[in-house]
Chains A and B, each alone.
Chain A
């Protein structure tokens, strides 16, 4: 008995020591001091540690080529590349950055959950000085730079400080199958949401599945709702909504977009039981000619070009009323950022510029990727899927018609939105309840800021 009591006392002592120490986490982000910047990387032998998520085949090859070209140009710099898939990077990067010896260059996801949290904790270096030095301000469209910007306290997204630039561009759009549309008596792909609605009905009447949709992994729900919302509300109001500038998730267009999805599901326009169908299975169905449309990102280009129906597949986006160009959700690949603890900021900036500039973009295109800024001389043969995507991306990004991914809105929005989207499509939530769920999360976050 005596023994037990002493061990209990010991446990209590250990506990109280643990609790008496101050809470976990850095005390607060201290004001960063940055020295003068230069394009010179010096001549000292240095090693740059770079964490990227370029694991897919095309982009991985491009990255390898760009890294060795950089090492050739600056023989004193060695690149130590650590490459992880998106999900792995998302979970390990936080730990790596909070250590004493973080990487020099990292790819950070945009929005509050990742980049915002890193900036708030003082882990990333503001890159405004390098943006001037390397003229990124005129090279990139303003809307894309904004996505990679935060206020210096990390509390306001799209603030004044640039924390990274992106290497690749992305769009969520409407892939369509030309021969299946022709079979349903449709000669032109739709250009507005109303036209799409009418086409869906025709395709359904012709006995074809209108939209291949698989949401087992939960993230495609963001793409589907974001695509419809952008086509309804237009670029400015979605921008304002996601960046907490103005608007509400329970607004008319937000509810209407939700209602559209709810209707599509109840009319059988979406794959039956979509919540249990994997994204890859849906893409495969569409690629085999099993559905007339699918709504997903340009990152599926390579997969669809290799599909049996590749020659029949086109890509487009919808134009909201009051806009002259299409508007859709998308943006750019993860931002390449410099950590605040790096000792080689100049070399890091030179590296980031090197892998994103016009010459790098040509390497990217050659290996089947969509660079953030498409080189002027990149003209794929018309009528191909590559041409559709490059043209759509060029037009939409130049017209600032790219709306941000909706899950950037709050740190928990990804979970809230993806679960609610499954509820909506399954008829478990009405359009009003769906938008109210989003608004509740949004209001909660607003209170905490």
Chain B
């Protein structure tokens, strides 16, 4: 093995690099440029300096959009990962269960359905005569029934729970494959030492799943931060502005209200935020032994 890199290697990555540069790199730089202007998307623009970025912090509407995204992170990442870990602990013990692959498919199904379809379905579940309220009335909790997406205190949580439902399957499939990689002898040894189920899970499965948990965190946190379609279809940021998210604000400002500069600034901040968060999560990854 030669220690130095060969120049010809760059030739091999060139095609991919060109595609990246043309479809991602250049547009990103262009967006970065736009973010320093006040521009309606059509007529002449004026230099804005950093004021678009200042607005991201100062404008209460934008600030709350980022706040909502952080809140969604809990429902998109933390909750599904916890649920998936519990399910993994249960399922991995019952792997000789009949029809296991059917359960796995069903739990993963939400990931396969287009988000617009998922959103439309949940709009109907959350509506005033929807499934959720019907169930509540059936069990005598009719007083709790409400239009979940129209209520200021529940709309964001309602959207978050759709995210939970979406991501549980993804996390579960990741974790199950991780548990499958653990040598059965480890469990055997633990059992011989008299470990119970809980101890087995905490001492063997959980540490072994560190890599999968980091991967699940990255995927779900990024999906929480860039949520757009779910909000666009279910609430359009409403009621009021209680469910706006950065990606929706960026879209709306660029294409509807003619604030392209501000939209670009939101998009840049969102991109940087996603990069920083993914970098932090990557530190959780078990390091390859040198």
Contacts and interface: CB of A to CB of B under 8 A. Distances in A.
Interface of A: 14-15, 18-19, 21, 23-29, 90-91, 94, 97-98, 113, 117-118, 120-123, 154, 215-218, 271-278, 281, 411-412, 414-415, 418-420, 422-423, 426, 428
Contacts of A91: 255-256
Pairs A-B, 3 closest by C-beta atoms: A276-B150, A273-B147, A276-B147
Interface string B27-53: 001101110110111111111000000
B235 interface: yes
Given A272-B128, A276-B126, A276-B149, A415 B42 contact: no
Contact of B151 (A19, A29, A276, A418): A276
A236 B34 CA distance: 40
B252 to A, nearest CB: 7
B115 to A, nearest CB: 18
Contacts of A15: 29, 32
B211 interface: no
A281 B146 CA distance: 16
Given A218-B236, A276-B149, A415-B257, A26 B42 contact: yes
10 contacts: A23-B44, A24-B33, A28-B43, A117-B43, A271-B128, A273-B128, A411-B257, A414-B256, A419-B237, A428-B152
A157 to B, nearest CB: 15
A118 B258 CA distance: 11
Given A15-B29, A276-B149, A426-B152, 19 more contacts: A18-B29, A18-B32, A21-B33, A23-B46, A24-B45, A27-B44, A117-B43, A117-B258, A122-B43, A217-B236, A273-B146, A273-B151, A274-B147, A275-B238, A276-B155, A277-B128, A411-B40, A412-B259, A426-B150
Contacts of B105: none
Contacts of A123: 42
B40 A273 contact: no
Given A14-B29, A281-B127, A428-B152, A275 B43 contact: no
Contacts of A419: 237-238, 240-241
Contact of A216 (B39, B46, B146, B235): B235
Contacts of A23: 33, 37, 39, 44-47
B240 A428 contact: yes
Contacts of B238: 215-216, 218, 275, 418-419, 422
B45 A25 contact: yes
Query: Residue among B34, B36, B235, B259 with the most chain A CB within 10 A?
Result: B235
Nearest to A29: B43
A423 B240 contact: yes
Contacts of B258: 113, 117, 411-412
Given A18-B29, A18-B32, A277-B128, A94 B41 contact: yes
Given A25-B45, A423-B239, A276 B256 contact: no
A91 B241 CA distance: 21
Contacts of B128: 271-273, 276-277
Interface string B43-78: 111110000000000000000000000000000000
Contact of A422 (B239, B252, B256): B239
Contact of A25 (B29, B43, B252): B43
A27 to B, nearest CB: 6
A441 to B, nearest CB: 10
Contacts of A423: 239-240
Contacts of B34: 24
A14 B33 CA distance: 11
B148 interface: yes
Contacts of A118: 42
A299 B266 CA distance: 36
Contact of A26 (B43, B126, B236): B43
Nearest to B133: A273
B239 A121 contact: no
Nearest to B155: A276
A415 B256 contact: yes
B224 interface: no
Nearest to A87: B256
A24 B149 contact: no
Interface string B134-170: 0000000000001111111001000000000000000
A422 B257 contact: no
A18 B33 contact: yes
Contacts of B33: 18-19, 21, 23-24
Contacts of B46: 23
B239 A278 contact: no
Given A24-B39, A419-B241, A428-B240, A18 B256 contact: no
Contacts of B42: 25-26, 94, 97-98, 117-118, 120-121, 123
B239 A275 contact: yes
B96 to A, nearest CB: 45
A444 to B, nearest CB: 12
A415 B252 contact: yes
Contact of B43 (A120, A218, A281, A426): A120
A216 B241 CA distance: 12
A94 B257 CA distance: 12
B247 interface: no
B123 interface: yes
Nearest to A17: B29
A111 B59 CA distance: 26
Contacts of B257: 113, 411-412, 414-415
Contacts of A122: 43
A414 B257 CA distance: 8
Query: Residue among A273, A277, A414 with the most chain B CB within 10 A?
Result: A273
A418 B256 CA distance: 13
A217 B33 CA distance: 33
Query: Residue among A14, A154, A275, A277 with the most chain B CB within 10 A?
Result: A275
Nearest to B41: A94
B175 to A, nearest CB: 35
Interface in B1-49: 29-30, 32-34, 36-37, 39-47
A276 B240 contact: no
Query: Residue among B237, B239, B260 with the most chain A CB within 10 A?
Result: B239
Contacts of A281: 127
Contact of A276 (B29, B39, B45, B239): B239
